Chains A and B, each alone.
Chain A
Amino acid sequence: MNHQDIIKFLEEKTSVAETERVQKWLKDPENESEVRRILGEIWMQSRMETSGSKPDFEGMLNQVHHLISLKEQSILQEPQPILTLQKFYHYFSRVAAILILPLLLFSGYYFIKSTVKYNADVAVSERIITTKPGTRTKVLLEDGTMVWLNDGTTLKYPERFINKERHVYVDGEAYFEVVSNPKRPFIVENPMMNTRVTGTKFNLNAYVADNYFEATLIEGKIGLEKDSRNYEIEPGFQVQYNQTTEKIVNHEVNASISTAWIDGKLVLQNEPLNVAIKKLSRWYNIEIIIQSPELNEYLLTATIQDEKPEQTFKLIAFALPIKYSIKTTRIENEIKRTIYLTKK
């Protein structure tokens, strides 16, 4: 196979038999290096002219932008391989049909992740993210910085960092892995204290409602600013600031403990349902009762991370022939919820 044969094929000037021969040659993985070499040379050394009608390239560019922002948003919703059974993927790919349609052939990789939308209450307009109580999420910023948000946390961030300094706002608890850029300091604003970093891993616990601010440095360097005062922390140290007493404490800690909430996971692997129920019950602090004894032997494989009980059980009911119902009872001003599982 030589250049000329291939160019003839590319220009649609080959006979049916020749076309088939080239296509066969292209398809055969054994020819990989030869195919790559010849096509590469043609790519680099040729100018391509066409007399046909051209597609709408600006439209394609817009579509690419759209895909890029969809992909970035999908980072907000943790990719959750919650249940390993086929039904789960099928359900969610049906929900995402509208998104998948324009990219029929290449959709799988890009859209399965973006369909799981229930973990965080995401108000993406003006790039404000607030996680609901009991849920966590993760955000990828335009510069590559990763931010993990604990529950009940608000993060305000720009779609793009256009100024010299990179500014975001946090009210709540967040763990940052900031992409290093000494020329562009990264500043986390909070009513109690501002945190200035260049390239760092640190955890911030600063719920305004709590009047308590805590910054733990895992790696790198950060500076805290309050009014006109500055404090610098070393890795492995934590600063605590009490807004009410106005006291500041800087002490050494086991930094990894401050971020344990990030990995909070419940892993079930081929767990008989009656055992799985015990674990889920402790995890959610909710009573779960199996009413049909046949269900006890069903095996469940799942990883629970940020899901609320209703969501987890919805998925379990998809994977196994189970119906669930939630009953709420009031006992002395306390609300108690119980989940009942029956065979479908």
Chain B
Amino acid sequence: MDEDIKFVEALKNNDHEAFDSLFRKYAEKLYLFALSLTKEKFIAEEIVQIVFLKIWDKRLQISEHFCFKSFLFSVAYNETISWIRKENSEKRKIRTFFAITDQTTNETEIKIEFQNLETIANQLIESLPERRGKIFRLSREQGFSNKEIAEKLNISVKTVENQMTSALHTLREALEKTTIMGSLFYFLFFC
């Protein structure tokens, strides 16, 4: 989330580039989230646009200390839930009818899979060689400094540093292959 803090700071200075960066980072996640709730592609697209328009409007009210990802959720949640509540019950009846008779009203099928990041992260860390995984956990989960880890495990600081670099490299590669949005480290998933 270091990256987001820099973006938000710049955004508050009316930096359009920062705004664009945040959009490119989060638009797809937002789209999929809205789509899975509303089941309407057109609406999901509109929600993405409205939410980011609101983010721009409210840019001065965002605190860099907030987690941007959760701020984004608040705006997105309000927008999506109001649409859902206003949705015409007629449409739902039609959709239900067609679902029963085995036809879909959507042009193409939505297929979204939700994967728990914590689970994925744990699996990835588990897959690291034992000592590397241990060092990684001590650093990121328990917050020890490289020096403290070196003392704890009776190895050199340089070794700790190398192991960390390796671990990060492995994780980044693994995540880049499977994540839509590129490199997101698990410790960056949470705010």
Contact, CB under 8 Å: A36 / B77: yes
Binds B, one of A47-55, A193-201, A264-272, A284-292: A47-55
Residue ranges of A at the interface with B (Cβ–Cβ < 8 Å): 7, 10-12, 16, 19-20, 23, 26-27, 29, 35-36, 39-40, 42-55, 57, 60-61, 63-65, 67-68, 71, 103, 105-106, 110, 142-144, 160-161
**Minimum distance in angstroms from B19 CB to a CB of chain A:** 9
Contact, CB under 8 Å: A11 / B99: no
Residues of B near A45 (CB, < 8 A) are 116-118, 189-190
- Asked whether A64 and B49 contact (CB < 8 A) given A16-B100, A49-B180, the answer is yes
Residue among A10, A23, A35 making CB contact with B36, cutoff 8 Å:
A10
Contact, CB under 8 Å: A29 / B85: yes
In the complex, 7 of the A-B residue pairs with CB atoms within 8 angstroms, ordered by the A residue number, are A16-B96, A16-B99, A16-B100, A20-B96, A27-B87, A48-B115, A63-B49
**Minimum distance in angstroms from A34 CB to a CB of chain B:** 12
Residue among A20, A26, A46, A106 making CB contact with B115, cutoff 8 Å:
A46
- Count chain B CB atoms within 10 A of each CB in A44, A48, A61 and give the residue with the most: A48
Kindly supply a per-residue 1/0 record for chain B positions 172-191, scoring 1 wherever the CB is within 8 Å of any chain A CB and 0 otherwise: 00000011100000000111
**Minimum distance in angstroms from B25 CB to a CB of chain A:** 11
A144 to B57, CA, bound (A): 11
Residues of A near B115 (CB, < 8 A) are 46-49
User: Which secondary structure dominates where chain B touches chain A?
Assistant: helix
User: Which secondary structure dominates where chain A touches chain B?
Assistant: helix
Contact, CB under 8 Å: B113 / A61: no
Q: Is B103 interfacial (CB 8 A cutoff)?
A: no
Contact, CB under 8 Å: B112 / A11: yes
Contact, CB under 8 Å: A47 / B111: no
Q: A50-B112, A64-B23 are in contact. List 15 more A-B contacts (CB 8 A).
A: A10-B112, A10-B114, A11-B114, A42-B114, A43-B69, A44-B69, A44-B73, A45-B118, A47-B179, A55-B31, A57-B27, A61-B20, A61-B24, A67-B53, A68-B56
Q: Is B154 interfacial (CB 8 A cutoff)?
A: no
Contact, CB under 8 Å: A50 / B53: no
Residues of A near B99 (CB, < 8 A) are 16, 19
Q: Is B110 interfacial (CB 8 A cutoff)?
A: yes
A103 to B180, CA, bound (A): 27
- Asked whether A11 and B113 contact (CB < 8 A) given A44-B70, A61-B23, the answer is yes
Kindly supply a per-residue 1/0 record for chain B positions 125-149, scoring 1 wherever the CB is within 8 Å of any chain A CB and 0 otherwise: 0000000000000000000000000
Q: Is B43 interfacial (CB 8 A cutoff)?
A: yes
Contact, CB under 8 Å: B70 / A48: no
A301 to B106, CA, bound (A): 47
Residues of B near A71 (CB, < 8 A) are 53, 57
Q: Is B16 interfacial (CB 8 A cutoff)?
A: yes
Contact, CB under 8 Å: A48 / B27: no
A106 to B45, CA, bound (A): 12
CB contacts under 8 Å to A, within B26-61, are 27-29, 31-33, 36-37, 39, 41, 43-46, 48-50, 52-53, 56-57, 60
**Minimum distance in angstroms from B55 CB to a CB of chain A:** 9
Contact, CB under 8 Å: B84 / A10: no
Contact, CB under 8 Å: B28 / A54: yes
Contact, CB under 8 Å: A46 / B50: no
Contact, CB under 8 Å: A52 / B117: no
Residues of B near A16 (CB, < 8 A) are 96, 99-100
Residues of A near B180 (CB, < 8 A) are 47-50
Residue among B33, B60, B189 making CB contact with A48, cutoff 8 Å:
B33
A252 to B60, CA, bound (A): 35
**Minimum distance in angstroms from A183 CB to a CB of chain B:** 10
A46 to B179, CA, bound (A): 11
Q: Is B153 interfacial (CB 8 A cutoff)?
A: no
- Asked whether A26 and B37 contact (CB < 8 A) given A16-B96, A39-B77, A61-B24, the answer is yes
Residues of B near A60 (CB, < 8 A) are 27, 45, 48-49
A46 to B117, CA, bound (A): 5
Q: Is B3 interfacial (CB 8 A cutoff)?
A: no
Contact, CB under 8 Å: A57 / B24: yes
Q: Which residue of B lies closest to A61 (CB)?
A: B23
**Minimum distance in angstroms from A225 CB to a CB of chain B:** 26
- Asked whether A48 and B29 contact (CB < 8 A) given A11-B114, A40-B70, the answer is yes
Contact, CB under 8 Å: B41 / A55: yes
Residues of B near A53 (CB, < 8 A) are 108
**Minimum distance in angstroms from B23 CB to a CB of chain A:** 5
A67 to B24, CA, bound (A): 17
Residues of A near B155 (CB, < 8 A) are none
- Asked whether A48 and B32 contact (CB < 8 A) given A40-B73, A40-B77, A60-B48, the answer is yes
Residues of A near B114 (CB, < 8 A) are 7, 10-11, 42, 46-48
